[in-house]
Structure 1
Amino acid sequence: MEFIRTLNGDIAPEEVGVTYSHDHLFCIPPLWKEKKIDDFMIDDLEASIADVELFVAEGGQAVYDATAIDYGRKPTELKAISDRTGVKIIATAGFNKAIMWPGQMEGTGGTFQQWIDAHSRQEIRDHVVHELTVGMDNTDLKGGVAKFGTGYNTISEAEDKVTRAVLDAHKETGCPIHSHTELGTLMLEQLAILKEEGVDCSRLTMAHVDRNPDQWLHRKVAETGVFMCFDGISRIKYHPESILIDCILNLVRHGHEDQIVVGGDIARRTMFRNYGEGGLGLGYILGSWVPRFMEQAGEAGFDGKALFDKFFVKNPQRAFVFKQ
């Protein structure tokens, strides 16, 4: 049995449609709130809805919202966005990365780090399974993906424990998995943990691979079968679009077009169109980047339209599926 779990229930994979495979539509990260970093507060429901409507206007139909509990996940607000726009939203169980864990974990009286340190791998697995099968944050809204993450060239003891607990939850539920890589580091090291734990790497979507545009590394990672998420589009401070497109086309050239997914990861007010800062917004990838990509793909001898269908429709159908 295969299905994709959205905030409005389970759907057949072929129903998901044109999908952004990594974004943040509404979130209030506890640590950044405590530090008063306002740009990370994606906390205006009407502004978020207006941006999602830009995505819909460009043909968008589904979003994987990669916001885990430690990054300020708000499932009720996400469902409201889904209900009002018609966009299917896949939400996130699990955790993000240790840099966020000094933040206060609601309902515990302590930080995320304290909670993780106080719980065993098995107890963390049970927590993640609950989020996937019962509900998140005292609601009946279920996560559709389980997430783990690592730091910049570091895997803390707590991150290792959480990673293995998330993999245990995957084994128990058949859920898809998503990982945060800080600036694209430790991709092979994460995959080594999956292999140690006997987890099929093709069940993982790896975020931020384009922050580290090392084409040799990308090929080695892709050879494991993992889905690779290019989610740095428009972030020119990291790399120009030409670098990202070169990396994508190099993977296609080596036969890995069935493993590429795309998202915007626009987790800042200044990147949204409707948060008062005039950013490019959620419509940018489909409305502006995709035509450019298709043109450059054609110039390189590829069928840009067919690649669009794979990256935004066919590959997400496989990347985000539960298998039971």
Structure 2
Amino acid sequence: MGFVRTVDGDIDPAEMGVTYAHDHIYCIPALWKEKGDVDLLLDSPEASQAELALFAKAGGRTIYDATAIDYGRDVGTVKRIAKAAGVQVIATAGFNKAIMWPGTMPGTGMTFAQWIGAKSRAELARHVVAEVTEGMDGTDIKGGVVKFGTGYNTMSEAEIKVLLAVLDAHKQTGAPIHSHTELGTMALEQLELVRQEGVDPARLTIAHLDRNPDGWLHRKVADSGAFFSFDGITRVKYYPEDVRTRCILDLVRHGHEDQVLVGGDIARRTMFASYGEGGLGMGYILEKWVPRFIEEAGEAGFDGPALVHKFLVENPQRAFAFSS
């Protein structure tokens, strides 16, 4: 197993401890700022640091911050507040999804759509490689994951170009890969391109598949070897929480417990406990969801504590490690 790249440098995977596999800490997405959607602006370093402190107090040690440049990444601020809170953070190189690309690309005077459209696959790959090997946002802070994303039942030409460039960057750096799926769609289509490019799907973590609780789809994705980021916890507007638990336990029954990761994907002020909105906050998964999952897993005949340790400690060590 290789190293894990955090905003403070490379660490041994065994140093990760309890890990959230998908969250957002501090970010000001250009598109949401331009549209005035205040709930999606995580723009208080003090409040975000307080959230990290809640995570650490609950027993958390490491967070994968899935914030790419098109989602308002600011790794300098994240590094500073994470250090103050005693939390390790893995940052994101690459991009999120085309729905964000009407926003303005920092330092260019162009929209992301215009900037990406003007770049070749090779040029985009060089950009992502530099984010992993040199630094991001005008700093020497390096990305620890390369990311791409696709839309709701769609995969635009530009998204495919970015996807292929990110896979190229993975081949050149060995960085682990993360993908955004909109409401859990297009995972199999993403995997088809990953395979065509000769990339091992076991180096990929696919986000948001719990937004689409389709057991058949989950098993097909799991058969590829890819990791699952179950990151919709608390979002009962989609379905009751026990649906997610059943999806996880179904994967376990089929022998895929080594591919399950857990995160909160907290990206709104109203989801945080420290932004004055009364949200559940970053401590919720460890304090509330884990005990519930252990109870439900036990009722279904599984060793809940052992599964939780896999999902939050063991599996992230492999999912976020660089390959040689």
TM over 0.5: yes
Q: Within 1, Cα distance between the matches of 2:289 and 2:65?
A: 20
Q: State the Cα distance separating 1:57 from its structure 2 match.
A: 1.0
User: SS in structure 2 opposite 1:289?
Assistant: helix
- Which amino acid in 1 is paired with 2:251? L
- Which amino acid in 2 is paired with 1:268? R
Residue in structure 1 matched with residue 239 of structure 2 by the alignment: 239
Q: State the Cα distance separating 1:155 from its structure 2 match.
A: 0.4
Paired residues for 1:80-99 under 5 Å: 80-99=80-99
Paired residues for 1:145-294 under 5 Å: 145-294=145-294
Q: Within 2, Cα distance between the matches of 1:215 and 1:160?
A: 26
Q: State the Cα distance separating 1:52 from its structure 2 match.
A: 1.0
User: SS in structure 2 opposite 1:146?
Assistant: strand
- Which amino acid in 1 is paired with 2:109? G
Q: Within 1, Cα distance between the matches of 2:217 and 2:158?
A: 26
Residue in structure 2 matched with residue 66 of structure 1 by the alignment: 66
Q: Within 2, Cα distance between the matches of 1:232 and 1:246?
A: 14
Q: State the Cα distance separating 1:109 from its structure 2 match.
A: 1.1
Q: State the Cα distance separating 1:315 from its structure 2 match.
A: 0.3
Residue in structure 1 matched with residue 303 of structure 2 by the alignment: 303
Please give the per-residue CA displacement for 1:271-321, whole angstroms capped at 9, x wherever unaligned.
000101000000000000000000010111111110011000000000000
User: SS in structure 1 opposite 2:274?
Assistant: coil
Please give the per-residue CA displacement for 1:99-123, whole angstroms capped at 9, x wherever unaligned.
0000000111110000001000000
User: SS in structure 1 opposite 2:3?
Assistant: strand
Q: State the Cα distance separating 1:86 from its structure 2 match.
A: 1.2
Q: Within 1, Cα distance between the matches of 2:84 and 2:11?
A: 18
Residue in structure 1 matched with residue 119 of structure 2 by the alignment: 119
- Which amino acid in 1 is paired with 2:28? I
For structure 1, list consecutive stretches of 5 or more residues without a partner in the other structure: none
Percent identical across equivalent pairs?
67
Please give the per-residue CA displacement for 1:41-98, whole angstroms capped at 9, x wherever unaligned.
0010110111111111110000000000000001001101221011100000000000
Q: Within 2, Cα distance between the matches of 1:317 and 1:286?
A: 18
- Asked if 1 retains the 8 angstrom alpha-carbon contact of 2:52 and 2:82, the reply is no
User: SS in structure 1 opposite 2:178?
Assistant: strand
Residue in structure 2 matched with residue 41 of structure 1 by the alignment: 41
RMSD: 0.6
Q: Within 1, Cα distance between the matches of 2:270 and 2:154?
A: 29
Residue in structure 2 matched with residue 18 of structure 1 by the alignment: 18
Q: Within 1, Cα distance between the matches of 2:133 and 2:291?
A: 39
User: SS in structure 1 opposite 2:312?
Assistant: helix
Q: Within 2, Cα distance between the matches of 1:104 and 1:110?
A: 6
| TM value normalised by structure 1 | 0.99
Q: Within 2, Cα distance between the matches of 1:323 and 1:230?
A: 23
- Which amino acid in 2 is paired with 1:267? A
- Which amino acid in 2 is paired with 1:187? A
Please give the per-residue CA displacement for 1:15-61, whole angstroms capped at 9, x wherever unaligned.
11100000000000000000000000001011011111111111000
- Which amino acid in 1 is paired with 2:230? F
Residue in structure 1 matched with residue 28 of structure 2 by the alignment: 28
Residue in structure 1 matched with residue 102 of structure 2 by the alignment: 102
Residue in structure 2 matched with residue 6 of structure 1 by the alignment: 6
- Asked if 1 retains the 8 angstrom alpha-carbon contact of 2:94 and 2:148, the reply is yes
**Residues 48-57 or 254-263, more deviating:** 48-57
Q: State the Cα distance separating 1:238 from its structure 2 match.
A: 1.1
Q: Within 2, Cα distance between the matches of 1:150 and 1:240?
A: 26
For structure 2, list consecutive stretches of 5 or more residues without a partner in the other structure: none
- Asked if 1 retains the 8 angstrom alpha-carbon contact of 2:53 and 2:86, the reply is no
In the TM superposition, structure 1's runs of 4+ consecutive aligned residues that sit over 2 Å from their partners are none
